Structures are given as C-alpha cells and as structure tokens.
Structure 1
C-alpha cells in the first residue's frame, strides 16, 4: 500500500493489518451496512499488474480465457488465467487506462501470477510489472451509489463492466445486487473523492467488498483455491469471464471440451453456513450420501453474515447440492443451506 495512502486511511480511522483495511472501528456495523447501506471501501488488497507494449493485446489473447480485443477505455471484462490442464491459477478484472492494460487481482496472488505470465513473453514486445503504486483503488456500493457518484463525476458507466475515464478517474460499473463501482486514480484525486463520498457513505473494510462479490455471485480465486477449478465450475462462463469463440489460449482445449463435450458435475452455489467459527477458502464440504468420487465440494469465498453464520460461495457437486443435507468439513460439521444466485445457471 502506498505510504501516503496508508497514512490517509489511518487518519480516517482505518484499522490496518498486513496492508489490508480490517475495519473502520465497528466491524459488526460494517457487516450490516454492506447489505443495504451506502459504503465506501479501500481496495488496496487488490494488486495491479500492468502490461504495456505494442504486442500487449495479442500476448494477452494467447493467455487469458476472455477475448481481450473487447477491452477498451470504455469496457472492462472478467477473465481467468489457467494452467495447461484448464485449472484457474487466478481470475481478475482486465481494464485499460491510457495506453496500459491492467489486471486487478488479489495481492496474495500477484507475485506468483506476475512471475508465471512473464515466462511466456518470449519475443513479444511487452513489458509486464507490478504497478501497485500507480493507482489507488476504492469501491462504492449502495442503493444511492449512482446518485452520490454522479454528484461528483457526471460521466458514469451505465452497464455492468463498462468504463468511463473522467477528470483523472477510471470508473468501472461492477455487477451487484446494489449499484456498485470501482474507482481508480492517482493519490490526490482519490483522497479528494474519498472525502466527498465519506460525507454520506460509511467507510468499510476489505471484507465488505468480498461480501458484495459473494452476494453478486462473483468468485475470487485465492492461493487456497488456485488450480482447484476449471472456469465453468465457478460460473465464470455465466458472468462473462470466458469467450468460447476467441481461439487458443493456455488451457483452452480443456475448457472448450468441458463446454461442448463434457458434462459439468459441479458448479458454484451461494450458501449459508450455520457456524460462527472461521470459514476459509478451500474448506471442504460434506454430504453423507454423496456418490461423488471427488468430494462434495469446497469453499471459494466466505464472509460473516450479520444475520448469523457465514455467507459463502462454494463449488459443490450438483447432485449433492440438489439433494441438500450439506455440512462443513464432515458429518459433525455445521449445517449448510443453499441459496439462489442473482443470475441463472443453465
């Protein structure tokens, strides 16, 4: 986290651990506000990889699951980076600012992804680097997010994944059960807009943004689940994170075979876990009568539910999910209830 931004957040009341905002002093209130209120979040726990050079679009086209040719100054996209076996090493948002492409992904995966993707540059005229200090990233969500933001920036994106570039800001409209935006800019610009939004929005920690992603059915691959899933298992093809017509990329053969020739036996569901104990990415699920040879499923992302227990996204054997009687860890574990996602999955 940029030192000057870190100092700014501390002055605003942020409690910070390992360069991540834990809360602004009242974690329970933040968990409740995120479901219905107007909240503003620091997104420094999302790292940035920048890619520059005349061959950038062609290079990324051969690496990522989505069609990079659709990324422009006016449109971003979700995408994933896979192994040759089609397993996701990471997923992220791809966007442009000026002449640079950016990948926004968890800081915990940035170093490993940067190292791996750099191995494939070969003769391409491309420069890839950790550009975390280039931009400050914040998020705004809530019933009146459109209204509050339009009072400051008149040109806002109107459709999910669309982008506007205005007065030094890059603004991305994100999927969500409430209006939601990511805002990026240089330090002084973000300090200014934070102060303007803070008048009506409640500051919240990093977990609040992940809660919003869970509610929206948007998965985030972490070190605990890297290489665990093909994209379709986490509904990436449903949320416009995979393009099946784009041509070859690393892992494309496996991903395409799953789409056209295979039968998807597990996919991502939203669940509630009746436990106040920590639930973390990678935790296993259990179903007593499961016939799956690969296990019932595992947690993708999880956060505290203010109404009790935890809200989570989990990849689950479809037959087990439909049968119910799911538990965390084992037959003595907390009960799990499956809930609907805000989008349909065929």
Structure 2
C-alpha cells in the first residue's frame, strides 16, 4: 500500500489522559491490579497492561512507564479515566500509593513517520516500548504500523508543542489500528476478555505474575480449550466507530463481532480492529451494523495468530 505523505508529523492526543501512581507501594499496588508485571518495570521501559473486572473483562488498557523510582504514569483513553481512577482508588486501602489524574500536568503527543524520526534524532528510541528522555519529558517508541514509525511524546503541559507538521487525528487512529494494539475506550468497556483483542499477543498480559482482578478467567481462557474470538483488521468505505457491531452473512440474525478501534486514511478507506468469531473467518462476507450493511474487507494483522486459534 502506498501511504500518503500526510502520515507524518505530530498530533496532540486530547482523547488520552494520564493516571499518576506515587509512593513506595505504587509498583506493588499496580502489580496486584493489572495484567502486567509492574514491579519489575524498569526505567527506560514501557509496558502494555489491562485492567479487568472480576469477570475478566477489560475496564481499561494502559501504557505504563516509570517517571522516577516511586512514580508510575499510566496513559489511557480520557473518556474512561475518571471511572477507572475511582475504581482503582477503592482498592488502595493501606498501600503507600496515591493515585491522581495527571492529565493537566502532562501533554501527550502522537508522533509518526520520517518527520518525527528526523525531529527526535538521537532521542528516538530504537525499539518498541523503549523510553528515552526528550526535552523536558519522555518519548516512548510504539509498535510501527504499515512501516511507519510511531512515538508517544510526553511533555510537561507548559512546554511548547513539537515543531512538526500537523498529523490528522483520523490518520493517527488508522495507524493505531494497523499496529494491531487495541486501546479500550468508553464504548467497549467490559466487552472484551484480553485475548479477544489479542492483548496477550502484543505483550499486555503476563501469565506468571500472580493474582489480579479477573486473573482466573483470563488464565482459563488461555489454557483451557481453543479461543473462539480474536481481533482482526478490516477495511471499509464506510465510517467505522468503536462499539459498532458487525455481522456475518452465514448468521445474519445476530452480531458476529464488535469494533474495538477505528480510523480513516486521509481521502481514503477506513480501517478497524474488530473482535470477531473465528469460526466465521474464511467464508461468507462481513458487514457493518446489519447483515445487509456496508461491506467489510479482511486485512492483514502485523503479527501471527497462534495456530490453535486461527
């Protein structure tokens, strides 16, 4: 695919927010709540993590990194941050950990493409999930998408914006889809067990770390039987939005999946990461909203699904 030159530059990620965890027990507290090993999260490293309900359904997804020995920052979707912060705070109890909304303290920017690489220069981390210091903040390398480098730049809110071309918000979301890394947003809260959106395939679940809310169900989904649902990428000429249901021609009476994330190329097609029934793949047709809705065209994931679930 020949990508537009506009898939390069910087975008203020106003739909993202930041939760701050501070204190001597910040890492151990988050370790007990999230799907990821946070206790061994080193400076210079970022990790994906999920926050599940007792039923193993994702309430939020995070990018986590250290901002000092006793401070961890969690980037997540702004539309679910207040509810997520409130729920996490209920379980702090006697832990030496203070949680707060740090979204007004930090400005998050999505950087992409050759312009971002040139502007960051030596500050650009070489591999996904590495973190380097940049200006007054930090820059995190995200997984590439369609051969395009992506970064999360975290700056103090008072710092000037990066001097880069403006990147279209829908284009950033299109790249996010093609990275194959799902981000939980308000319309999809409690809709997916982590494996339904491939979270363990992109490093967001640690099966050796011990207990957390929903851990038993997540582990059972992993080790008992074949997973029946996975996230796949689809393209369409229609506008696609998180939370929309999709249907398959072989079973038109009931939904066969749901959109996790979506974006559109400038003057081009939409793409979406969609959780679907694996049994329906390989035959028939996929449609948005109803069995006679706009057609969805399967596209390639940037990683392989396990053989026993494909």
Tell me, yes or no, whether TM beats 0.5: yes
| TM superposition shift of 1:80 | 0.5
| TM superposition shift of 1:113 | 0.1
Give the match for residue 260 of structure 2. 300
| TM superposition shift of 1:33 | 4.0
| TM superposition shift of 1:341 | 0.9
Relative to structure 1, the CA distance from residue 136 to residue 295 in structure 2 (aligned partners, 3 Å threshold; closer, same or farther) is same
Matched, 1:209 2:172: yes
| TM superposition shift of 1:304 | 2.3
Matched, 1:229 2:192: yes
305-314 vs 104-113, which moves further: 305-314
Confirm or deny: 8 A CA contact 2:174 2:263 kept in the other structure.
yes
Matched, 1:271 2:234: yes
Give the match for residue 13 of structure 1. none
TM-score between both structures, scaled by the size of structure 1: 0.82
| TM superposition shift of 1:307 | 5.8
Q: 1:71 aligns with which of 22, 33, 41?
A: 41
Provide the rounded CA distance (Å) in 2 between the counterparts of 1:306 and 1:338: 20
Give the match for residue 142 of structure 2. 174
Which secondary structure state, in structure 1, belongs to the residue aligned with residue 34 of structure 2? coil
* Alpha-carbon displacement from aligned partner over 1:42-69 (angstroms, at most 9, x marks no partner): 1132111100011111111110001112
Give the match for residue 87 of structure 1. 57
Which runs of 5 or more residues in structure 2 are unaligned? Answer: none
Provide the rounded CA distance (Å) in 1 between the counterparts of 2:82 and 2:268: 35
Provide the rounded CA distance (Å) in 1 between the counterparts of 2:228 and 2:267: 31
Matched, 1:147 2:115: no
Provide the rounded CA distance (Å) in 2 between the counterparts of 1:42 and 1:167: 16
96-105 vs 240-249, which moves further: 96-105
Which secondary structure state, in structure 2, belongs to the residue aligned with residue 49 of structure 1? strand
Count of equivalent residues: 301
Q: 2:92 aligns with which of 103, 109, 121?
A: 121
Which secondary structure state, in structure 1, belongs to the residue aligned with residue 62 of structure 2? strand
Provide the rounded CA distance (Å) in 2 between the counterparts of 1:92 and 1:56: 15
Confirm or deny: 8 A CA contact 2:170 2:265 kept in the other structure.
no
Q: Name the structure where helix makes up a greater proportion of residues.
A: 1
Matched, 1:248 2:211: yes
Q: 2:273 aligns with which of 302, 305, 313?
A: 313
Relative to structure 1, the CA distance from residue 243 to residue 249 in structure 2 (aligned partners, 3 Å threshold; closer, same or farther) is same
| TM superposition shift of 1:77 | 0.5
Provide the rounded CA distance (Å) in 2 between the counterparts of 1:45 and 1:326: 29
Confirm or deny: 8 A CA contact 1:320 1:326 kept in the other structure.
no
Which secondary structure state, in structure 1, belongs to the residue aligned with residue 275 of structure 2? strand
Provide the rounded CA distance (Å) in 2 between the counterparts of 1:73 and 1:133: 23
- Where has structure 1 moved over 6 Å in runs of 4 or more? none
| TM superposition shift of 1:180 | 1.4
Confirm or deny: 8 A CA contact 1:49 1:129 kept in the other structure.
yes
278-287 vs 228-237, which moves further: 278-287
Give the match for residue 136 of structure 1. 107
Matched, 1:47 2:17: yes
